[in-house]
Chain A
């Protein structure tokens, strides 16, 4: 770790140490997980810079800038509201809002993994020329996906205003908790994939296919209530998919459906907020385990990044 206090100052050829002793780095020594975490924290301004670079590059030279990234969710909102209210009247009122709530967190997850898996290979010019904690690259990919989620949330806000659908204010902390859990899970998987992609370049193609399948297993375009009824006692099976809980949490807080009438299938589980917190906690726990494994795999593979890129 380098901090500005510990840097040496030199006065006319004489060493004069104004701060603490300079850090001695054993270049070849393996670093512990906690050392790695500290190195990442020490380079947080690089992390911020890489996220900024990513956003700038994406929107540079386009007149509408980040409004383009709103277009995609806005399209979803309009098309799905239209299709499911006019042509296929669904039992889900305000289908556009319902779908966008889940899509928001899914897009964050999906976008993080897609960008993170290529992050090291794409930044090979940097990786080959300078040292910095390599985990920064997949984390920066996650950072820009997170910011994109906030931008896309604007569409949901506008849609909610237009359709007069108020979110459940009491459940808003649940949204934050779901984002944290998803971020930890995405960080773990992203770091893992980024390291594997260096050796196996087709990981990103596999990921494409895998994420499409995962998407349809997550209750984004259909209400989970319908599945829950079919599964009955075996509902827990669906929660093996760690993304289900954050998606439901988003739908619970932002879409906030009215309680179902007797005899009607609920759109999302009609459980207490505590139940939702519990489910998201399981996702968080899975995320932490995966993150830990990912860091170990990453640490082992990172030594050969320079040789293989």
Chain B
């Protein structure tokens, strides 16, 4: 008996992308006779992934869009079957791949909860005994006998989350669904995740949020084009992910990727980044010092639809500041050829530590990313104050 909740051994998953879509016999027949083969292309969404997730562990899955995170989660949840390799799971596994999946709009909340419970293999009596908890947590007491088609989308999502949490699975698989509902419900969800952790249950969570990984996960893995890049503690995983995105030079936003966009995308690029400190002899900061970031660019054509964006991250990948020139009403008239733009931080109220700067160039509606550099530069702050922690908050204590 191992102490692993999930063992993924050399798992690969191939999707066959058929261009017509196998929806009718006639299409099948016609396309078979017209072109015997070659219409289908293979896509390997996972390539030889091996992972061991321990019992009681909270495990993060990171990676760019399309890197295979959801595919891996679905293989573990048994809704997809790996092309090769094996996956072993221990105990009851519940998947939150989509909130409220399997809810039937015509049925009442109560009927849907009992249906969901039986999908997880609970019997009628067990399901019945959990009903008050499920509706209590979802703040839906009184709505048990309302058909869920009359629920608001937030209520629907809350019930979906609540069901998954209260049917007490041994392992919970979560795919980017912890960010539903209003803020207070999100806090409750996080509290519920903590309870899960305390109870020694296993959680696997797919997320794009570095904060989430840092604060919730014990370990994390990074996927890149279906290949496992690394498994390790969250800060290291976040760094690996940033480096991966950086190496590619461009972080392609979700809706991008067409050829036209890519052509445009090279219209303006970063050429250099310099940090200007108060005292050039001292290439670090003390809390409260100003800092100037001098960014050089090269535009291949005259353009005015451009904005510069900057983020500051701490060593754990937490975003401390995010800003762009549009937010500050500071759009350039026009840029052409080489030039520089200066981002001035009047005061950096950080205590000791090292911090990284990410830079981006995008158009005004952020539909095109011209250039993007994670870890474009980094700076160090020497704590010259008696305070402890991350942020220099002016403070006094009176008796």
Contact = CB atoms under 8 A, between A and B. Distances in A.
B88 A27 contact: yes
A50 B115 contact: yes
Contacts of B88: 24-27
A56 B102 CA distance: 15
Contacts of B106: 56-57, 60-61
Given A27-B75, A56-B107, A306-B81, A8 B56 contact: no
Contacts, number: 145
Interface stretch (B195-203, B287-295, B304-312, B382-390): B195-203
Contacts of A8: 91, 170
Given A28-B81, A46-B119, A49-B114, A129 B28 contact: no
A26 B82 CA distance: 12
Contact size range, A: 35 or more
Interface in B90-137: 90-95, 97-98, 101-102, 104, 106-107, 111, 114-115, 118-124, 126
Interface stretch (B18-26, B217-225, B274-282, B358-366): B18-26
B74 interface: yes
A193 B229 CA distance: 42
Contacts of B200: 10, 12-15
A199 B170 contact: no
Contact size range, B: 35 or more
Which applies to chain A's interface (DSSP): helix, strand, loop or mixed?
mixed
B46 to A, nearest CB: 12
A22 B95 contact: no
A130 B77 contact: yes
A304 B88 CA distance: 19
A83 interface: no
A15 B55 CA distance: 9
B128 to A, nearest CB: 11
B23 A201 contact: yes
Contacts of B67: none
Interface in B314-348: none
A131 B79 contact: yes
A126 B91 contact: no
Contacts of B74: 128, 306
Given A14-B200, A45-B124, A307-B16, A53 B89 contact: no
27 contacts: A2-B91, A8-B91, A10-B200, A13-B198, A13-B199, A15-B55, A22-B90, A22-B91, A25-B88, A27-B86, A27-B87, A46-B118, A46-B121, A53-B115, A57-B106, A125-B101, A126-B102, A128-B97, A129-B79, A129-B101, A130-B95, A130-B101, A199-B22, A200-B24, A200-B25, A202-B24, A306-B79
4 tightest A-B contacts by CB? A131-B78, A129-B101, A10-B200, A27-B87
